[in-house]
């Protein structure tokens, strides 16, 4: 009964006119951000976070979560129509979505992606609602050793999955951790590495860093490109985007598998929507009766991954809300937002801020319905947005970066910090480092340090403490495996 | 500049930086005390691990026979990158003097004209609309005290 009462309270929060408006705005802006090249979900969330400072935290998280769901679908539009993914979770959709568009079937490709996203998103919220309170209750027993172990696992797996080069992924993570050491020490009060600069004594704020690395960094990368994009012509009326009975028959199990797989992958720290979409594509190709059609316009190749990425985006909220561990760059920025709003993510969030958590859960149901309506009935509007020249879009994004960084503390220092991180983000992207690992480390660094030092105080400086209890031992072994796997791979490659 | 050369420079810089980071931790902060690990404990070990990783990067880049691709753009790409970066830095440096709202409008017009010779009417309309929206959302709604120019905006 508690459960139904909580959900009912959540809907009473989510259905207020302002929160409904925020959810709608989040979905629309999310679809646009997902569709527009050069700006992905992390930059979208980072750029919109400053707007939430004037709102209640519940309204803020409702908008950001709706935006995250919207970006997952928005990337599909460009994958299908111009063979260019708007964001990384839609990369795999290019393979069959664009082929379908070339065959004059862009409508059904976009339609099945929208329906799959709706089913997966809704089912993902049901799972989020069922799993999160249980996980939160279980994690109440976590002490500093478990907290440190799970943070280490989150950091190592994100780094493992970050890019081509594991070494550069780990360097990015270490850089983030080192930057997280700047400012007042949480236990002794020493101002570390502040170099006598008052602004640095408060530490490196993650928001200017995230806006710089993802927003400005991506714009600078896009600035080099000159060519425009050719958008395939297609009909996007409601009838045109509705899949036929045959399409539906081929897609329904792909959607079901993508939904479950996506949610499970989303739960893992470090995995997230992109990994889920690739895994789903591989699974669909393996189980298909006609694998030869994959890459040539198989609708399952769109339905499965598009369902998986939406479900994973919802699943990624579970560790963020219940354990305070973000699974991806986007949820890392959301986690930072939670801290800025004065909330403490983790198991106590469910006990101390039930209206926040259940308002978010209820709003996700509403956001999924909005996403379905907007992504089937208003496709032409979003396609029109794709025609905005990048030379106009790029300066606009930079303006958002500058105003967003400034409005954090009304400080030009933060704008300068954002600019430095923007240049760093550009270089990192070009040289295959991982901005996601850096941001995650910057957010988790102070928390991980506190948990580590508290554990070592308890054990009188013995590192064995992490292996004395089963949960922390399993998590530590998993984290060590995440470090060992790329090393073993590199050694094997060298032998070959 | 090739990726290999960039890796060598990055490896050397990170190695020097991480050694200084660890040394600085030991010199200025307490490593451990009666209450357990001190403020130098974690930074010291982070510096040590980073030094190891930087050495691996440096050795790998030094031994590599493949110079890798050029990572910085050339020709028009470099010009565009330079223009975007240059105008953005100028905006940030002059922010306190030109103000956020007026600066936004100027920044947009200058960048659009320099990048693509966007037609004046379009560039001016986009700049005016964005500056107006900025004012409405941040100054009017969120009450963010933006820097203002000598003209009061």
Contact call for residues A373 and A24 (beta carbons, < 8 A)? no
B118 and B94 inside one domain: yes
The shortest CB-CB distance from A403 to any of B18, B96, B138 is to B138
* Residue B149 belongs to some domain of the structure: no
Residue (of A243, A375, A297) closest to A98 by Cα position = A297
B54 and B108 inside one domain: no
A170: which chain B residues are within 8 Å (Cβ-Cβ)? 53
* Positive or negative: CA dihedral B29, B30, B36, B42: positive
pLDDT digits (tens, 9 = 90+) for A180-198: 999 998 788 889 999 888 8
* Residue B89 belongs to some domain of the structure: yes
> What's the CA gap between A36 and A388, in Å, rounded?
9
* Residue B147 belongs to some domain of the structure: no
> Which of B61, B64, B78, B84 should be substituted to probe chain A, the one whose Cβ sees the most A Cβ atoms within 10 Å?
B84
Q: Quote the ipTM score.
A: 0.94
The shortest CB-CB distance from B81 to any of A187, A223, A391 is to A223
Question: Count of domains in chain B?
Answer: 2
Calculate how close chain B gets to A141, using CA atoms only, in Å.
Answer: 23
Q: What are the residues whose beta carbons fall under 8 Å from the beta carbon of A77, sequence distance 6 or more?
A: A31, A34, A35, A86, A110, A379, A382, A383, A386
The shortest CB-CB distance from B92 to any of A225, A392, A402 is to A402
pTM: 0.86
Cβ–Cβ below 8 Å for A412 and B36 = no
B137: which chain A residues are within 8 Å (Cβ-Cβ)? 51
Domain boundary among B63, B85, B112: B63
* Residue B114 belongs to some domain of the structure: yes
A171: which chain B residues are within 8 Å (Cβ-Cβ)? 14, 50, 53-54, 57
Q: Which residues are B36's β-sheet partners?
A: B33
> What's the CA gap between A477 and A475, in Å, rounded?
5
* Residue B151 belongs to some domain of the structure: no
> What's the CA gap between A29 and A26, in Å, rounded?
5
* Residue B29 belongs to some domain of the structure: yes
* A490, pLDDT greater than 80: no
* A226, pLDDT greater than 70: no
Q: Largest Cα–Cα distance in chain A?
A: 69
pLDDT digits (tens, 9 = 90+) for A401-454: 999 899 888 899 999 999 999 999 999 989 989 888 898 899 889 889 999 999
As a whole number of Å, the end-to-end CA separation of chain A is 60
Structural domain boundaries, residue B56 = 3-63
B21: which chain A residues are within 8 Å (Cβ-Cβ)? 178, 193
Coil vs helix vs strand at A184: strand
Phi/psi at A269 (5° precision):
-65, 130
* Residue B152 belongs to some domain of the structure: no
> Which of B88, B105, B143 should be substituted to probe chain A, the one whose Cβ sees the most A Cβ atoms within 10 Å?
B88
Calculate how close chain B gets to A357, using CA atoms only, in Å.
Answer: 25
The shortest CB-CB distance from B42 to any of A50, A216, A449 is to A449
* A386, pLDDT greater than 90: no
> Which tokens sit at A188?
């002794």
Cβ–Cβ below 8 Å for B92 and A412 = yes
Q: Is A87 left (phi over 0), alpha (psi -120 to 50) or beta?
A: beta
Residue (of B55, B58, B113, B84) closest to A426 by Cα position = B84
Per-residue pLDDT band for A228 (boundaries 50, 70, 90) equals: low
Mean pLDDT of chain A: 86
B83 and B55 inside one domain: no
* Residue B69 belongs to some domain of the structure: no
B53 and B89 inside one domain: no
Per-residue pLDDT band for A25 (boundaries 50, 70, 90) equals: very high
* A227, pLDDT greater than 60: no
B50 and B94 inside one domain: no
Residue (of B138, B90, B146, B80) closest to B114 by Cα position = B80
Q: What are the residues whose beta carbons fall under 8 Å from the beta carbon of A231, sequence distance 6 or more?
A: A81, A82, A383, A386, A387
Phi/psi at A201 (5° precision):
-65, -25
Angle, helices A329-340 vs A435-459, to 10°: value is 60
B52 and B15 inside one domain: yes
The per-residue pLDDT for B149 is: 84
The shortest CB-CB distance from B81 to any of A171, A220, A395 is to A220
> What's the CA gap between A258 and A315, in Å, rounded?
12
Q: Tally A–B CB contacts below 8 A.
A: 160
pLDDT digits (tens, 9 = 90+) for A130-188: 888 888 888 888 889 998 998 888 888 777 666 668 889 899 999 999 999 999 987 88
């Amino acid at each position: 009964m508690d459960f139904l009462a909580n959900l009912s309270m959540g809907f009473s929060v989510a259905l207020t006119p302002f929160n409904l408006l925020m959810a709608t705005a989040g979905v629309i802006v999310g679809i646009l951000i997902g569709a527009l090249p050069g700006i992905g979900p992390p930059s979208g969330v980072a750029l919109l976070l400053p707007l939430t400072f004037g709102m209640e935290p519940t309204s803020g998280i409702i908008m950001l979560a709706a935006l995250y769901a919207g970006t997952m679908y928005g990337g599909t539009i460009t994958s299908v129509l111009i063979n260019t993914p708007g964001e990384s979770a839609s990369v795999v959709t290019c393979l069959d979505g664009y082929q379908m568009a070339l065959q004059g079937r862009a409508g059904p490709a976009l339609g099945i992606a929208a329906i799959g996203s709706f089913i997966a998103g809704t089912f993902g919220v049901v799972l989020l609602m069922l799993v999160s309170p249980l996980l939160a209750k279980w994690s109440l027993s976590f002490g500093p050793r478990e907290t440190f172990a799970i943070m280490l696992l989150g950091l190592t797996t994100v780094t493992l999955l970050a890019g081509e080069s594991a070494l550069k992924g780990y360097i990015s993570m270490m850089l983030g951790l080192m930057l997280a050491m700047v400012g007042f020490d949480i236990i002794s009060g020493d101002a570390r590495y502040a170099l006598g600069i008052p602004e640095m004594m408060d530490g490196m704020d993650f928001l200017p860093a995230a806006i710089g690395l993802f927003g400005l960094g991506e714009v600078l990368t896009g600035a080099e490109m000159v060519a425009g994009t050719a958008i395939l012509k297609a009909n996007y009326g409601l009838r045109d985007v509705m899949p036929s009975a045959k399409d539906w028959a081929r897609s329904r199990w792909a959607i079901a598998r993508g939904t479950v797989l996506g949610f499970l992958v989303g739960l893992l720290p470090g995995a997230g929507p992109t990994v889920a979409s690739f895994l789903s594509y591989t699974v669909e190709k393996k189980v298909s009766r006609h694998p030869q059609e994959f890459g040539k316009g198989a609708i399952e190749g769109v339905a499965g991954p598009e369902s998986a990425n939406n479900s994973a985006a919802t699943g990624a909220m579970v560790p963020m809300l219940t354990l305070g561990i973000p699974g991806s760059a986007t949820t890392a920025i959301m986690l930072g937002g939670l801290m800025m709003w004065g909330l403490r993510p983790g198991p106590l969030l469910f006990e101390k801020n039930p209206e926040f958590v259940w308002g978010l859960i209820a709003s996700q149901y509403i956001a999924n319905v909005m996403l379905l309506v907007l992504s089937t009935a208003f496709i032409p509007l979003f396609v029109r947005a794709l025609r905005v020249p990048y030379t106009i879009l790029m300066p606009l994004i930079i303006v958002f970066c500058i105003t967003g960084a400034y409005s954090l503390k009304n400080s030009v220092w933060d704008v300068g910090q954002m600019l430095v991180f923007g240049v760093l983000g550009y270089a990192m992207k070009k040289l295959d480092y991982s901005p996601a690992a850096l941001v995650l480390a910057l957010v988790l660094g102070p928390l991980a340090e506190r948990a580590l030092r508290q554990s070592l105080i308890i054990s009188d400086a013995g590192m064995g403490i992490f292996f004395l209890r089963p949960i922390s031992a399993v998590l530590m072994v998993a984290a060590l495996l995440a470090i060992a796997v790329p090393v073993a791979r590199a050694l094997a490659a060298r032998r070959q | 500049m090739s990726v290999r050369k960039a890796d060598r420079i990055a490896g050397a810089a990170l190695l020097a930086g991480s050694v200084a980071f660890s040394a600085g931790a030991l010199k200025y902060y307490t490593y451990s005390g009666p209450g357990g690990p001190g403020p130098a404990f974690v930074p010291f070990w982070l510096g040590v691990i980073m030094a190891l990783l930087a050495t691996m990067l440096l050795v790998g880049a030094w031994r590599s026979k493949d110079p890798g691709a050029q990572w910085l753009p050339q020709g028009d790409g470099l010009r565009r990158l330079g223009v975007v970066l240059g105008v953005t830095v100028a905006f940030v440096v002059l922010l306190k003097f030109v103000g956020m709202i007026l600066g936004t409008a100027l920044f947009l017009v200058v960048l659009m004209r320099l990048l693509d010779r966007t037609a004046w009417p379009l560039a001016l309309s986009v700049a005016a609309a964005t500056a107006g929206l900025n004012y409405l959302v941040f100054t009017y709604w969120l009450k963010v005290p933006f820097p203002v120019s000598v003209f009061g905006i």
